[in-house]
Amino acid sequence: MWGLLHTEGTKTTGKQSESSPKEWTGVRRPRGYRGDVRLLVVEDEEGLVSALRSGLGRAGYAVDAAATGAEATEKLATTAYDLAILDITLPDTSGLDLCRAIRRGETEVASGRDLRVLMLTARASLADRVRGLDEGADDYLTKPFALVELLARIRALLRRDITSGTSQLEVGELVLDGARHLASRGARELSLTLKEFGVLQYLMSRPGHVVSAEELLEHVWDENADPFTQSVRVTVGTLRRKLTVGDEEQLLETVIGRGYRLRGAT
Ligand code: CA
């Protein structure tokens, strides 16, 4: 049984109260794992935010959160999110107004037109749903909702992106299947951690390009990652050792002072 999430103002029965977000701990990483996808959750209910953080994080997404419209505006301007989940009721604005500002270009959005917007609403009336879509939301979900449904909506929205429409990447001998979370070099299957997989996926989507540690930190790690730790360097190091065994050609290069580059197909 999946935990349902409800909003302030929603009547909760005893049964619903028991199905707290902690039930989400049973969620497995879904087949749609995408280590380089970054989400912004704009919601002021702390319980829901922490449940979304853990549920979406466990699904392999990098998750940031904003509790107010002002905080969301600041984050959208500086970080290239793939998708924003906007609650309608926020302390300083409404998700509808925020969505309109995003779509009209009144709010600076680092990811531009690529940003997809999913509205969360406690209001299930047709008029409210239509209004949300009119303001430029790509989809909406009515609270309370089950995590599995949210994950399905997110996957559907991300699939709409033509540039990352395929989850299968191929660079030289390397093949990565994002949908099945499999990576291989030639006939050799690679056993990668979540972060190593995310780093490889990001590099494989940009073969031959130098990717900085900051860029990896931004897209594969979430905002809670300490930028002063050596976690990117360590993960790239372990990934490099797994990519190349014996006398195989080295594929992942360090470009001193700039970042990392995956050797493109030759
Ligand atoms: Ca709210």
Distance 164 CA to ligand 1 centre (A): 31
The verdict on 151 and 207 lying in the same domain is no
Q: What's the pLDDT tens digit per position in 29-68?
A: 333 344 578 999 999 999 999 999 999 999 889 999 999 9
Residues 132 and 158 grouped into a single domain: yes
Domain assignment present for residue 22? The answer is no
Last-in-domain residue among 111, 133, 163: 163
Tell whether 11 is covered by a domain: no
- The per-type count for the chain, helices as H runs and strands as E runs, is 9, 14
Please state, in angstroms and rounded to a whole number, the distance separating the CA atoms of residues 67 and 75: 11
Between the CA of 179 and the centroid of ligand 1 the distance, in Å, is 32
State in Å: Cα 39 to ligand 1 middle.
Answer: 17
Q: Which of 163, 197, 213 is the last residue of a domain?
A: 163
Contact 122, 7 (CB under 8 A): yes
Residue 136 in any domain: the answer is yes
Residue 97 lies in a domain: yes
Q: Which of 163, 193, 217 corresponds to the end of one domain?
A: 163
Average pLDDT over residues 81-90: 94
The verdict on 96 and 83 lying in the same domain is yes
- Whether the predicted pLDDT of 27 surpasses 90: no
| Ligand 1: centre distance to CA 68 (Å) | 9
Q: How far is the CA of 109 from the centre of ligand 1 (A)?
A: 22
Q: How far is the CA of 10 from the centre of ligand 1 (A)?
A: 11
- Residues 71-88 have a mean pLDDT of 94
Residue 46 located in a structural domain: yes
Q: How far is the CA of 45 from the centre of ligand 1 (A)?
A: 6
Do 125 and 190 lie in one domain? The reply is: no
Does any domain span residue 142?
A: yes
pLDDT, position 21: 42
Q: Which domain holds residue 194?
A: 168-262
Report if residue 5 sits inside a domain: no
Cα(76) to ligand 1 centroid in Å equals 18
Centroid of ligand 1 to alpha carbon of 240 (angstroms): 43
- Compute the mean pLDDT over every residue in the chain, rounded to the nearest whole number: 79
Mean pLDDT of 140-153: 88
Considering the domain architecture, whether residues 103 and 219 belong to the same structural domain is answered as no
pTM check: above 0.85: no
108: nearest Cα among 73, 82, 132, 81? 73
